Amino acid sequence: MSEEIELKLALSPQGPEHLGHHPLLQTLASQTVALGNQYYDTPAAVLQSQRVALRVRRLGDNRLQTLKSAAESRGGLSNRGEWEWSIDDADCNAAGLDLPGLRALNHPALAEVDLEALSPVFTTDFERRLWRYQVDDSDIEIALDQGTIHAGGASLPILELELELKQGRPEQLWQLAETLCAAGNPGRGMLPARPANHSKASRAARLSHGWPEPSPRQEPSSGSETSVDVLIDAIDNWQDSHDPAWLVEAKALCEQLVRRWKAEWDVADRASGPSDLAKDRALANERILAGERILARLSQDTIPWCSQDWLTLRRQDPSVPDR
């Protein structure tokens, strides 16, 4: 088993061209590959309920079978187990799966699954442009994915930037994201991007089975039950489903966060001494302004592609893991 640690940013339609002109990427060699992926599940969607994904990937003339365990995704950063092996010489069944290889994993999520019932449920087909960024003790794969998710007769676009940690510390993913999101060339602003928590597989599953409704909740006066991560999930759902209820939810969550941060600013203002008052004020004000700019975009019924504001929230959100 390998551990996959990656940071995912959803991109606006203008994002790929913007990214391609970044000075850092222009110094790195790149290659482009076409990837076709068939995902599998039972008729009762047992794998989805276990939050695992099973796919067969076509890469040129080669086929790879992959099982991915449930991911812990926070602030766009995900961490999950991954088992992958070639099935070019395997004795696959009529559905194209290496069932003996699956059984050999002895994965607990598969213990009660009728593997013979697994069948194709959706596909993802995309072009991936790859760069490799290596500096100091870090080795990071930069992937720009552009393509389509297909489920039945429905589809969703794939337009995302993934930074996968091959070696080093998760904090180095955030440092690279800061660099790529910053304005790299004169006349170009920040990269139009935002963190995304939903994987291609989870997006496809919702395309197949429908998106959930926002959970009924009583609005807390302080927003203490709200997090940046919950806000990201709401925007993920709104962008894919186009359900106005998720836009309303995202606005309410962002408003709660801004109110809470303003209240915390007031507390810090009263508690701070002369030596640290200026620093505390600056940090609190930076977070409040970033939240207000994201809220302003949502209030205009537009996706908040303001990557630098999202990174500001991440820098000051202790719930987003660094390491």
Residue 279 pLDDT more than 80? no
- Which residue type is seen at 53? A
Confidence (pLDDT) at 112? 87
State pLDDT tens for residues 97-147. Answer: 999 999 999 998 898 899 999 999 999 999 999 999 998 889 999 999 999
State pLDDT tens for residues 177-201. Answer: 999 998 766 667 899 999 999 999 9
Confidence (pLDDT) at 303? 98
Distance CA 60, CA 24 (A): 29
Domain residue spans in the chain? 2-196, 211-315
Which one-letter DSSP state was computed for residue 274? T
- 323 falls in which pLDDT band (50, 70, 90)? very low
Residue 157 pLDDT more than 80? yes
Residue 109, classed as helix, strand or coil, is helix
Residue 23 pLDDT more than 70? yes
Which is more confidently placed, 182 or 305? 305
Residue 3 pLDDT more than 80? no
Confidence (pLDDT) at 55? 96
Confidence (pLDDT) at 222? 45
CB burial of residue 253 (10 Å; 0-12, 13-18, 19+): buried
Task: Find the helix packing angle between 200-209 and 228-241, rounded to 10°.
Answer: 50
**CA-CA distances (angstroms) from residue 258 to 18, 74, 211, 234, 287?**
30, 19, 27, 16, 8
Q: Residue range 207-232: average pLDDT?
A: 77
Average per-residue pLDDT for the chain: 88
Contact 80, 4 (CB under 8 A): yes
- In the beta sheet, which residues pair with residue 301? none
Confidence (pLDDT) at 223? 47
Identify the CA nearest to 56 among candidates 97, 22, 16: 97
State pLDDT tens for residues 68-88. Answer: 987 666 666 777 788 999 999
Distance CA 302, CA 41 (A): 34
Work out whether strand 2-11 and strand 77-86 pair parallel, antiparallel, or are unpaired.
antiparallel
- 221 falls in which pLDDT band (50, 70, 90)? very low
The least confident of 1-5, 55-59, 132-136, 233-237 is: 1-5
Confidence (pLDDT) at 317? 63
Residue 110, classed as helix, strand or coil, is helix
Tell whether domain 2-196 is in CATH 3.40.630.40: no
**CA-CA distances (angstroms) from residue 297 to 79, 190, 273, 290?**
29, 15, 35, 11
- 307 falls in which pLDDT band (50, 70, 90)? very high
Residue 246, classed as helix, strand or coil, is helix
Q: Residue range 46-73: average pLDDT?
A: 88
CA atoms within 13 A on the CB side of 289: 8
Distance CA 191, CA 15 (A): 6
Confidence (pLDDT) at 12? 97
Task: Report the Cα–Cα distance between both ends of the chain, in Å, rounded.
Answer: 20
Q: Residue range 302-316: average pLDDT?
A: 92
Distance CA 31, CA 220 (A): 49
